[in-house]
Structure 1
Amino acid sequence: MLVAPLLLLLAADVPPASANVLRRVGGFARRQTTSLARDLRVAFGGVLPRSEAQHVIYCKNSAGSLAGSASGSAAPSGNSSGSGSGSSSGRSGSTTKKASTATATGTGSAAGATATSAWHLTQSYAGSNFFDGWDFWSTSDPTHGAVDYVDYTDGTAAGLVEVNSAGNAVMRVEMTPTVASVRKSIRITTQASFTGGLVIMDSVHMPTGCATWPAFWSNGPNWPTGGEIDIVEGVNDYTNNQATIHTAPGCTLASDDPAALGAAASAVTGGTDCAAATSGNAGCGMRSPSDVSFGAAFNGNGGGVYAMQWNSNGISVFFFPRQSVPLDIDAGAPQPNTWGLPMAHWPATDCDPWKYFYTHVAIFDTTLCGDWAGSAWGSSGIPGQEQSCAARTGFSTCEAFVQAQGAAFSEAYWEVKSVKFYNATSL
């Protein structure tokens, strides 16, 4: 069974046409290797070497906060690394490692900056080995959602995790017709961490529909001290993405006018105080002006690309609909200075990006109901949510809908082409 990681490593460079057979073999080997590795860890404890993956336990978009012992350097390294370490106390949590062939240099390859881009590829998750290098969260949802997050083995067995025939990573929500309480779902976290740089996520489908609350985001240690950057997030039937930062006290916006901040956003949401403790954890959000940037509209348009740039000028989030993805991104030679105004921008002038954000890991998750989707169940007026989910479904509570309507979650899945991390010699 110990040859499975080698099979995965070899499969990473196999052309898609030849990868189908290897994917089946690799899938079996991964499942066996994951189980064996877990058993060996339990049996031998500290005797076996451990990767230095960061494990962050944190309460996302909840009024509560968590204390912890995780620490990180605020140095503007701009590097992806597998060395971020830390733990936190408070709400208990655990993660299960997916058997990994990824290292600090990633599953992708890059000889360095190209002639047209100063950005170096440091980490790439794509194709048949997309899930290598991610930890699967397998404990209760810190945002109080009606979900049971399952690990890779259980998720695969339940049909919730796969790399499909198009080579895209798929993460679903359980569709059993009725459940007594919660539905199985997936939440994954990169084992490698990063401080500064450029993160580019290409997705063709995201979860949508009443009760859903999907997000693609990054988070630092000892939340909110290490900061949080919500790149893609929304609930229920929303069609316009909301990007948000949550920080320790001291990070603010100079204005609630997106144009004055250098952003194309249609609105600043949550106010100008970005601190979780003093903003009721609303943070500083910015709503996309594009009605195809989230949910069913995003999916119907073939998806698109999100990019988050973190440098000495601040933090920016860009969105490109499928038909408007810059050629430099497709070529693997990104040139953010040619992309125009970002969808969202938090300037460094009033929020030092190296003080309030460091040692982040990237996360995908889909929860149901919880602190946001549940509380917005009876609300309307947000783009895409002209009618409340309570009125549209006939269920008075989000949780009752989740328990009774399994078929309603046929669109509650992520389908991701790739996630790539870049850094530059000067940030």
Structure 2
Amino acid sequence: MRISLSLHLTLPVLLLAHASPADAGLFARGTEQLARTANHLHHRAAKHSAGLARDLRRAFSAMVSTQELVATTGSAQKVYCVNTGSSLTGDGGNGNSSAGHSPSTTSGASGASGTSTKHSSTTVAANPASSSGSSPWKLAQHWEGNDFFDGWDFWTDADPTHGTVDYVSQSTAQSENLIEINDAGRAIMRVDTTQTVSTARKSVRITTQYSYNGGLVLLDAVHMPTGCGTWPAFWSNGPDWPNKGEIDILEGVNDNSANQATIHTGHGCTLPSSSPSALNITGTVVGGTNCAAAETSNAGCGMVTSQDNSYGVGFNSNNGGVYAMQWVDSGISVWFFPRNSVPADISSGAPIPTGWPKPMAHWPATDCNPSTFFQDHVQIFDTTLCGDWAGNVWGSTGSPGQEQSCATRTGVATCEEFVLNHGSSFSEAYWEVNYVKIFQ
């Protein structure tokens, strides 16, 4: 819309038009008083003009913001739907199953705070940043520093993905130095490095007591588990898996060098296209467009980034970075920002996703409404070993970073044998985390 105003007013008339009755009376008080009055009225007119400009910005901000949101979720990304080549009977990608774990309805193991109370939030619709540059997101929950492990439940049941792993309680993890807050104030979660173990190697899996519906999740980490036999993940899910969804933000196996982000859902959630340009992502689409776990051998819809510093050795050697997952009414997106490319708005604690580059992964609401397929999510860290993914691709090559199979690299025939008898090989199998934040 274009507005044109034609003004044919002399300066005195213009000044009088912006004056109050009291101001107008001042013109009769002499030349000196008139000069002061003119200056006063000039500032009053400027103030009115600024107010008009501000009102116009507010009137049009909704349209501008909507266009910015389309630009963000309509950027060139890529999606990756992975079929692991086996029937995953746990969480389909990172350690959850409907039978094994319903974090919103069960208390979990020994919670870090001594309780297992769940805190639910309301659904958050897309709310792009305003033209003033302020963040539309407000910090709802965070874990960092000396209090990082407060508000997490430690999982101690069997691994739903059949890993050669023994998840331990918080007290055991502390006494055996599997968790700590280091001198830099970062949370550490390790795998046991005892050289030989009999049946399984000890590790840590934790789940937030806080649950949410919609939001922006940030993970800042400087190191993640890597190496043959490992299967680490940072992810979220809801109860009654997979019907209330799962969102894998950071996940991979063995010596992979590229992150895979994946969603797993109940029946009916699909991608509208497998084309990276159509999905506006920077990753790569592999596999199909059906995200239903039960119909894809639990593989869901995955997307792999092209960034070789997004996972494993490359991630660690670059001092990590920040992962972001946005869940809004228009869809779900995942970004990775290497350490030297973290947006200033994230560093300042006022994230504005509309100003970020294209995400590595995006699942639009077109054929998968988030409010239908994703509910009551909790955040999870885990490091399993072998299992339905890492174990089943022990002898495989071809994925980024896995130009040589782990069987060849280690000289050990099976993943399970390697895990049980080579503890020193897991010295790099640890998380080092600055913070996890949830905005709503």
TM-score normalized with structure 2 length = 0.74
Segment of structure 1 superposing worse, 95-104 or 285-294: 95-104
Q: Does 1:304 align with 2:321?
A: yes
2:196 aligned residue: 178
1:60 aligned residue: 91
**Is the Cα–Cα contact under 8 Å of residues 209 and 295 in structure 1 kept in the other structure?**
yes
Deviation at 1:271, TM superposition (A): 1.4
Deviation at 1:66, TM superposition (A): 3.2
**Is the Cα–Cα contact under 8 Å of residues 178 and 191 in structure 2 kept in the other structure?**
yes
| 2: CA distance, partners of 1:135 / 1:94 | 6
CA separation of 1:100 and 1:337: change in aligned 2, threshold 3 A: farther
The partner residue of 1:395 within 398, 401, 412 is 412
CA separation of 1:330 and 1:64: change in aligned 2, threshold 3 A: closer
Match for 2:301: what amino acid?
C
**Is the Cα–Cα contact under 8 Å of residues 68 and 222 in structure 1 kept in the other structure?**
no
Match for 1:366: what amino acid?
T
Equivalent residue of 1:232, what SS?
strand
Larger radius of gyration: 2
| 1: CA distance, partners of 2:372 / 2:351 | 26
Query: After superposition, where does 1:370-381 map in structure 2 within 5 Å?
Result: 370-381=387-398
Equivalent residue of 2:371, what SS?
coil
The partner residue of 2:349 within 332, 348, 353 is 332
**Is the Cα–Cα contact under 8 Å of residues 110 and 153 in structure 2 kept in the other structure?**
yes
2:292 aligned residue: 275
Moved over 4 A (4+): 62-65, 67-70, 100-106
Q: Does 1:99 align with 2:113?
A: yes
Deviation at 1:86, TM superposition (A): 2.0
Q: Which runs of 5+ in 1 are unaligned?
A: 1-57, 71-83, 88-92, 107-112
| 2: CA distance, partners of 1:345 / 1:251 | 13
| 2: CA distance, partners of 1:254 / 1:298 | 31
TM-score normalized with structure 1 length = 0.76
Deviation at 1:260, TM superposition (A): 0.9
CA RMSD of the aligned region, Å? 2.3
Deviation at 1:116, TM superposition (A): 1.7
Equivalent residue of 2:295, what SS?
coil
Equivalent residue of 2:372, what SS?
coil
2:431 aligned residue: 414
**Is the Cα–Cα contact under 8 Å of residues 279 and 362 in structure 2 kept in the other structure?**
yes
Deviation at 1:59, TM superposition (A): 2.6
**Is the Cα–Cα contact under 8 Å of residues 270 and 282 in structure 1 kept in the other structure?**
no
2:143 aligned residue: 125
Query: After superposition, where does 1:10-21 map in structure 2 within 5 Å?
Result: none
- Write out per-residue CA displacement over residues 346-372 of structure 1, whole angstroms, 9 at most, x where no aligned residue: 000011010000100000000000000
CA separation of 1:162 and 1:281: change in aligned 2, threshold 3 A: same
Match for 2:98: what amino acid?
L
| 2: CA distance, partners of 1:140 / 1:298 | 29
More helix by share: 2
2:105 aligned residue: 86
CA separation of 1:103 and 1:276: change in aligned 2, threshold 3 A: closer
Query: After superposition, where does 1:189-268 map in structure 2 within 5 Å?
Result: 189-265=207-283, 267-268=284-285
**Is the Cα–Cα contact under 8 Å of residues 120 and 211 in structure 2 kept in the other structure?**
no
- Write out per-residue CA displacement over residues 75-129 of structure 1, whole angstroms, 9 at most, x where no aligned residue: xxxxxxxxx8425xxxxx95221126999599xxxxxx99621110000100000
Match for 1:116: what amino acid?
S
| 2: CA distance, partners of 1:105 / 1:235 | 32
**Is the Cα–Cα contact under 8 Å of residues 218 and 325 in structure 2 kept in the other structure?**
yes
Match for 2:271: what amino acid?
L
Deviation at 1:244, TM superposition (A): 0.2
Which structure would you say has the larger RCO, counting Cα contacts within 8 Å and 6 or more residues apart?
A: 2
1:350 aligned residue: 367
Q: Which runs of 5+ in 2 are unaligned?
A: 1-88, 122-129
**Is the Cα–Cα contact under 8 Å of residues 96 and 241 in structure 2 kept in the other structure?**
no
| 2: CA distance, partners of 1:414 / 1:199 | 17
1:28 aligned residue: none
More strand by share: 1
| 2: CA distance, partners of 1:155 / 1:378 | 31
Equivalent residue of 1:226, what SS?
coil
| 2: CA distance, partners of 1:134 / 1:238 | 28
| 2: CA distance, partners of 1:384 / 1:68 | 31
Equivalent residue of 1:345, what SS?
strand
- Write out per-residue CA displacement over residues 19-73 of structure 1, whole angstroms, 9 at most, x where no aligned residue: xxxxxxxxxxxxxxxxxxxxxxxxxxxxxxxxxxxxxxx9312799636997xxx
**Is the Cα–Cα contact under 8 Å of residues 219 and 226 in structure 1 kept in the other structure?**
yes
**Is the Cα–Cα contact under 8 Å of residues 105 and 123 in structure 1 kept in the other structure?**
no
**Is the Cα–Cα contact under 8 Å of residues 220 and 435 in structure 2 kept in the other structure?**
yes
- Write out per-residue CA displacement over residues 285-325 of structure 1, whole angstroms, 9 at most, x where no aligned residue: 00011000000110001100000000011000000000000
- Write out per-residue CA displacement over residues 254-285 of structure 1, whole angstroms, 9 at most, x where no aligned residue: 111122112111x2233100000101111000
Equivalent residue of 1:204, what SS?
strand
| 1: CA distance, partners of 2:286 / 2:198 | 36
**Is the Cα–Cα contact under 8 Å of residues 118 and 211 in structure 2 kept in the other structure?**
no
Provide the identity percentage.
59
